[in-house]
């Protein structure tokens, strides 16, 4: 009899955690596992890439309720959910005014939990794919013989409050961190759970990425450098650093075009683009289900993150043998060797610019990095064996 596994994730929009889950699901043995996926938000760009063997649960009743117009919500006369909606909205505003002592996901769950019904099914294994709402939901609303929580971001830097999450992580048999560095950070926040933490790296499959990178794309043909950054439009990714770096490059007379692939709230970066006058050389392409042809087209891949869980996009650029310049975010040395597979620079626009110019003008260094990337180990599909060990196989 196949073992039943439930994965719970916020959505399958574009992001590293989402790509990592897809990679894992693409490698699972479906003769042994009956896999179900629960998402809080449907319609993400990566949904079309799900293996056909994965059963997708319908949208949760409360998230469907919240997607309705305010008028429909009120006319439903569902007092439990109306009350949760109002209280959550008021608390999120209050939390923001107080400087966000709780992470938004924690503030959300504090008053929305009562509006969610438990899932009726019972599973052999339930996996919360990511901190925040998936972790809270699986802990309280899912029945399973074993429960595992994935941690794929720097818990402290992301602003999560340990005291709030303490009782939720108590419900888990194991807590999986996607790098040793993240595990150390998590263990510091939750010393009482350190015996439950394990490390399983985000899985990336070089064959899939190399194949997808062959898709033809059309970018303006211009002289100068082609720079590419891939990532959601969120503060964590450091686009304020990227925009200022583009302005400094332009001031120094460097010919370039910088492409950003990623979806999200574009308003802050659009303001920076206007302020710095870089619209002619800094282009937002929006979210792409397949960002790899853009990575492959780059002369230099640039990562300006402020913190990460692992940073799959940086690993993917290395798989495509594109020399990289990256900021020295918290877990960068889990994959980067400064001067060999890329350049690691200080977390400032000036340092990013110096790194880009250094790679662009020092052909010996550029070719050394490219040569190192060609011979370095690609991907880590063997991490699936650690996942099977976790399941007790």
Q: Are residues 47 and 177 in the same domain?
A: yes
21 in Cβ contact with 7 (< 8 Å) = yes
* pLDDT cut 70: percent of the chain above it: 99
Q: Which is more confident, 120 or 63?
A: 120
> Sign of the CA dihedral 62, 68, 70, 71?
negative
Say yes or no: 229 and 196 in one domain: no
pLDDT at 252 over 90: yes
Is residue 158 a contact partner of residue 125, using CB atoms and an 8 Å limit?
Answer: no
* Domain shared by 63 and 85, yes or no: yes
Q: Model-level pTM?
A: 0.82
Cα(134)–Cα(128) distance, integer angstroms = 5
Residues 6+ apart with CB under 8 A from 90: none
Residues 226 and 91 both lie in one domain: no
pLDDT score recorded for residue 221: 63
pLDDT exceeds 70 at position 247: yes
Q: Residues 23-79: pLDDT tens digits? A: 999 999 999 999 999 999 888 888 888 999 999 999 888 887 777 777 777 777 777
Output the average pLDDT for the chain.
92
- Report pLDDT digits (tens) over 147-166: 999 999 888 888 888 999 99
Whether residues 72 and 150 share a domain: the answer is: yes
pLDDT on residue 151? 95
**Domain co-membership, 182 together with 222:** no
pLDDT tens track for 355-368: 999 999 999 999 99
Strands (E), the chain: 3-9, 33-39, 55-56, 122-129, 143-151, 174-177, 197-199, 225-230, 256-261, 282-286, 300-303, 324-327, 343-345
Q: Are 183 and 222 part of one and the same domain?
A: no
Write down the pLDDT at residue 277.
Answer: 97
Domain, as residue range, for 262: 208-375
CATH number at residue 306: 3.40.50.2000
pLDDT, position 74? 75
What pLDDT, on a 0 to 100 scale, did the predictor assign at position 64?
A: 76
- 228 and 329 assigned to the same domain: yes
Higher pLDDT, 97 or 44: 44
Region of 116 (left: φ > 0; alpha: ψ -120 to 50; beta: rest) is beta
Per-residue model confidence as pLDDT tens digits over 168-221: 999 999 999 999 999 999 999 999 999 999 999 998 888 889 998 999 998 876
Give the total number of structural domains in the chain.
2
pLDDT at 268 over 90: yes
Please check whether residues 190 and 261 belong to one and the same domain. Answer: no
Q: Given this model, what pLDDT does residue 261 score?
A: 95
Same domain for 252 and 138?
no
222 burial type by CB count under 10 A (0-12 exposed, 13-18 middle, 19+ buried) = exposed
Residue 100 above 80 pLDDT? no
At 197 the pLDDT is 97
Average pLDDT for residues 75-102, to the nearest whole number?
75
Q: Are residues 238 and 167 in the same domain?
A: no
């Amino acid at each position: 009899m196949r073992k039943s596994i439930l994965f719970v994730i916020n959505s399958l929009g574009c992001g590293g955690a989402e790509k990592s889950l897809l990679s894992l699901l693409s490698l699972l043995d479906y003769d042994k596992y009956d896999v179900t996926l629960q998402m809080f938000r449907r319609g993400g760009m990566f949904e079309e890439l799900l293996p056909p063997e994965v059963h997708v649960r319908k949208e949760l009743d409360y998230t469907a309720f919240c997607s309705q117009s305010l008028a429909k919500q009120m006319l439903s006369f569902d007092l439990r959910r109306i009350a949760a909606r109002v209280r959550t909205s008021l608390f999120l505003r209050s939390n923001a005014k107080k400087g966000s002592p709780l992470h938004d996901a924690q503030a959300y769950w504090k008053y929305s939990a009562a509006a969610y019904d438990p899932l009726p099914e019972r599973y052999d294994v339930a996996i919360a794919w990511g901190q925040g709402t998936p972790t809270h939901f699986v802990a309280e609303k899912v029945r399973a013989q074993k429960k595992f929580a994935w941690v794929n971001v720097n818990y402290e830097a992301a602003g999560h409050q340990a005291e709030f999450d303490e009782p939720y992580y108590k419900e888990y048999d194991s807590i999986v961190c996607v790098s040793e560095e993240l595990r150390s950070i998590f263990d510091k926040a939750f010393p009482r759970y350190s015996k439950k933490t394990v490390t399983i790296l985000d899985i990336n499959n070089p064959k899939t990425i190399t194949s997808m990178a062959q898709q033809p794309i059309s970018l303006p043909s211009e002289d100068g450098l082609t720079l590419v950054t891939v990532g959601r439009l969120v503060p964590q990714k450091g686009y304020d650093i990227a925009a200022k770096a583009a302005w400094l490059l332009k001031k120094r007379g460097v010919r370039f075009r910088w492409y950003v692939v990623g979806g999200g709230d574009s308003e802050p970066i659009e303001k920076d683009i206007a302020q710095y006058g870089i619209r002619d050389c800094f282009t937002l392409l929006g979210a792409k289900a397949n960002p790899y042809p853009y990575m492959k087209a780059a002369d230099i891949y640039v990562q300006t993150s402020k913190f990460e869980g692992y940073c799959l996009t940086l690993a993917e650029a290395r798989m495509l043998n594109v020399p990289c310049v990256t900021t020295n975010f918290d877990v960068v040395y889990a994959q980067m060797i400064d001067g060999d597979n890329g350049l690691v620079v200080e977390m400032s626009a000036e340092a990013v610019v110096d790194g880009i110019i250094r790679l662009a003008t020092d052909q010996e260094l550029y070719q050394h990095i490219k040569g190192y990337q060609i011979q370095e180990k690609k991907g880590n599909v063997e991490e699936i064996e650690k996942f099977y060990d976790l399941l007790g196989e």
